[in-house]
Structure 1
Amino acid sequence: MAEVRLEDVSKRFGATTAVEGLSLTVADGEFVVLLGPTGAGKTTTLRLVAGLEQADQGRILIGGEDVTRADPASRDVTFVFQQYSLYPHMTVYDNLAFPLRSPARRQSEAAIRARVEAVASMLRISSKLGNKATRLSGGEMQRVAIGRALVREPRVYLMDEPLSSLDAKLRSEMRLELKRIKKELGATILYVTHDQVEAMTMADRIGVMREGRLIQIGSPHAIYTDPDDIYVATRLGQPSINLVPAGLIPDAGAPAGAVTLGLRTEHLRITAKPNGGACGTVAWIEHLGDQNHLHVEIGGRRLTVLADPDTDLAVGDTVGVEAVGALYFGADGSRIRGARG
């Protein structure tokens, strides 16, 4: 495996800047996830590393080697796309073996068989090797697509939202599979997603992108608990962070200049009767089995708070809401770090 380093990399398509001044290092054996909405520049970043696009500015290094102008084949990276891109007329075995039969990396059939069988075992699809790709479930096809990348043993794995077309149960299973594979192989992985759950559960570090720029990078815990601005704060958290004007809920810890409070569900305490906090009304309750989401209206604003599944609160009840923690933001959306935030 190898380190990947981008130094002040930019890419434009006509008048549109897809990536701007991006500097990022993915350490050898690290799993880094780029998180952001459509149009943030995530996929373009992957394509720049793969050599499918050429940077207009900056340098890209893999394993310390400058590959900025190198062709894709010489970079020794592999790309897992959002769509499976399997050969429908081939068996699972032949789909997995295909990269090892290319003229550039051709191996003996004995070596190919050993590698394919090892990867199939790792991905738990050994029983499917004789099946045509068209006879697989969605989860099995995704495993084959990932396996086709794994057989190559490249220096770097690039993955572009490979789980987005799977249902929730399969996504959960594949997240665990990818994490296990990364641990077993010690792989260097640069992964792109707009799904915060994928980012939080798989990444060693998360890089939050917006409009082609890397806004903040850090561990999942750091990005969640210590965001640099409102944009980063809203990328993680389910339900999403509550953003309310300072003063809506009494909070003696707000620093000077704070105009917006970011209140995650764990920052709020709800009581059946107002007692020194803000007074609100339960507008809606979402029953989620192990917990309830209460939507509470306070001063024309609606906040989402957590409640026990056996709560006896009902729509229309008056409740007290108290801030027991908060993140503070200035008028420009940047973070103001105070005694409690």
Structure 2
Amino acid sequence: MAEIRLEGVTKRFGRTAAVEDLSLTIADGEFLVLLGPTGAGKTTALRLVAGLERPDAGRIAIGGRDVTAEPPAARDVTFVFQQYSLYPHLSVYDNLAFPLRSPTRRVPEAEIETTVRELARLLQIEDKLKNRATQLSGGQMQRVAIGRALVRRPSVYLMDEPLSSLDAKLRADLRLELKRIQVDLGATILYVTHDQIEAMTLATRIGVIDRGRLVQVGSPREIYEQPVDTYVAQRLGQPAINLLPADLLPANRLAAGTRTVGARTEHIRVTPADGQARGRVKWVEHLGDQSHLHIALDGHSLVALVDPDTALERDAAVDITLADPLCFDAAGRRIG
């Protein structure tokens, strides 16, 4: 495995800066996720590391070696795409073995068989090795695509939203598999996604990116609890964080200069109205182990997390207080 280092990397397409002055280090054995919406520059950053794009400025190093001008084949990286990109006429075995049969590698067939079968066991597709790729389910095809990246043990694994085309259950299953494999192999992975759940569950650290610029880097818990601005605060949390005017609700410990208060659903306390009601329940989402209350409050909407056995129902009048609010200034930057 190897460290990845980007120093002041910029990439423009015409007048548009897809990546702007990006500096980031992914440590050896780290699982770093770049998180942001479509068009934020995540995939361009990944392609720059792979060598599929050349930066207009800056430097890229892998394992301490400057690879800025090197072609993809010289960088010892593998790339897992959003789509499966398998050879449909080949069996699962031959798809997995394909990178090892490259003329530049010439791995003996006996070693190929040992490696492929061990990897198939790791991916839990041993019984599919004789099947053609077209005979597999979506989840199995993505396992093969990931396996083809893992098979030759490169310095760095690059993954471009590899789970986004799967249904919810397969996505959840493969998240667990991918994290287990990364831990078992000690792999260095740079992974991009717009899915906050993937970022929270997979990442050692998350890098939040906006219009080509890296806004914040930290552990999932740091990004969730200590966002640097409202943009980062809205990237994590389901439902999204409530952003409310500072004077809408009574709250202790608001920092001087606060214009917007951020309240996670779990930091809103809702009680039946005692006297003049401040809010009214619009509807209740019963989710089994918890419930979400959607509340209208002086022309604003907010969502609160409550116990599943809450007695509050639709149209109930409620009082609301905040615990541990996040404070943001007029520009959306966090205070404190």
The alignment's TM-score, normalised by the length of structure 1, stands at: 0.97
Which one-letter code corresponds to 1:330 in the other structure?
D
The equivalent of 1:84 in structure 2 is: 84
Secondary structure of 1:328's aligned partner: strand
Counterpart in the other structure of 1:139 = 139
Matched with 1:173 is 173
Distance 2:72 2:9 in 1: 17
Could you say which residue in structure 1 is the equivalent of 2:296?
Answer: 297
Matched position secondary structure for 1:116: helix
Structure 1 CA distance for aligned equivalents of residues 73 and 28 of structure 2: 20
Partner in structure 1 of residue 12 of structure 2 = 12
Q: 2:236 maps to what in 1?
A: 236
- On the 8 A contact 1:230/1:334 being kept in 2, the answer is yes
In the other structure, the counterpart of 1:202 is 202
Give, in angstroms, the shift of residue 247 of structure 1: 1.1
Q: Tell me the distance in 2 between the aligned counterparts of 1:91 and 1:291.
A: 45
1:299-331 alpha-carbon deviations (Å, 9 max, x no partner)? 100110012212221111101111112000000
Q: Is the 8 A contact 1:265 1:305 kept in 2?
A: yes
2:330 is equivalent to residue 331 of structure 1: yes
The Cα offsets for residues 42-83 of structure 1, whole Å up to 9 and x where unpaired, read as 000000000000011000000000000000000000000000
1:315 maps to 314
Q: CA deviation at 1:291?
A: 1.2
- State yes or no: 1:54 paired with 2:54: yes
Question: SS of 1:23's equivalent?
Answer: strand
Give the counterpart letter for 2:317 in structure 1: T
- Find the aligned partners of 1:325 and 1:268 in 2 and give their Cα distance: 9
CA RMSD of aligned residues (A): 1.0
What is the number of equivalent residue pairs in this alignment?
Answer: 336
| Distance in structure 2 (CA, Å) of the matches to 1:200 and 1:306 | 19
Deviation, 1:275, is 7.1
Runs of 4+ in 1 over 4 A off after TM superposition: none
Q: Which runs of 5+ in 2 are unaligned?
A: none
SS at match of 1:46: helix
Q: Counterpart in 1 of 2:150?
A: 150
Measure the CA separation in 1 of the matches of 2:253 and 2:27: 38
- Output the amino acid matched with 2:297: I
Q: Which sections of structure 1, spanning at least 5 residues, go unmatched?
A: none
Which deviates the most, 284-293 or 65-74?
Answer: 284-293
- Post-superposition CA distance 1:77-130 (Å, at most 9, x none): 000000000000000000000001111122111111111111100000000000
Aligned-pair identity (%): 66
Q: Quick one: distance in 2 between partners of 1:25 and 1:78? A: 18
The CA deviation string for residues 181-237 of structure 1, in whole angstroms up to 9 with x for no partner, is: 011100000000000000000100000000000000000000000000000000000
- Tell me, what secondary structure is at the counterpart of 1:248? coil
Give, as a single letter, the amino acid of the residue that structure 1 aligns with 2:330. A
Task: Tell me how far apart the structure 2 counterparts of residues 39 and 319 of structure 1 sit (CA, whole Å).
Answer: 40
Letter in 2 for 1:202: L
Cα deviation for residue 274 of structure 1 reads 3.5
- Please show how residues 10-159 of structure 1 align to structure 2 within 5 Å: 10-159=10-159
Question: In structure 2, what is the Cα distance between the partners aligned to 1:121 and 1:260?
Answer: 52
Secondary structure class of the residue paired with 1:314: coil
Partner residue of 2:259? Answer: 259
- 1:214 pairs with 2:214: yes
